[in-house]
Structure 1
């Protein structure tokens, strides 16, 4: 295997593993609920302890999504740098920074979901609108397409990270 192929394989594995941890364990419940909120499509969060309700709009949604993407990208950065060093693969700092920018920016685009969500519009144009809206039979089409988008973008980020 070539040196670049090794860097790519290590980068992809580390980015993908870190993304799952960041999206499902590091992301706060608040960010998960509020990151798509807009003034036209508010999100009401109910406090689990006090049952107090708080309504969130565009500003809160933007802040929640930015915070989630920062923690997501930071998690990927720590795992990519530490993991590549642990297995003896040298990645260029500039390539790592560029890869994390690709991952973080594309994550924000997908997770902010406004206006008229990029993934929702894309899925409709590609004939996947019904699947995107699927929320039955143990499936959630929007989530599945969201994750597929992230996997594809992480592959692109791994290509960037593997650059010499």
Structure 2
């Protein structure tokens, strides 16, 4: 048996196509770099002071550092370099140990508050990065500190 359909009886063929699905937007070039640059500028304004020969500081001095770490966590590949200079008085070996211990104190504090250790790097600079190179005494206070640098790629 053969079935024939008259040409006038057929409806035009319509093929339903799904609406064009847009490709996901690629992240804006430089978005991560912008995030890191913004946070590095913030980091440059934060300094944690230390008393002579001390390797710990007050929790009040750490509040801006915790805020910085929380913001850095929002940048996918960013990490914080915690750099510990020391004042130039005393033995250079002792200054190196003090500067490293101060940086490690800050790193430990941040990991204790939940920040990922892989995103932190501690460095001791002894007295090689002074802010102030004037007469001993009050100027040395500026050099007993920990500074922060935000970098774009995990070490």
TM-score relative to the length of structure 2: 0.35
Please say which structure displays the higher CA radius of gyration.
2
Structure having the higher helix fraction is 1
TM-score normalised according to structure 1 size:
0.34
Higher strand share: 2
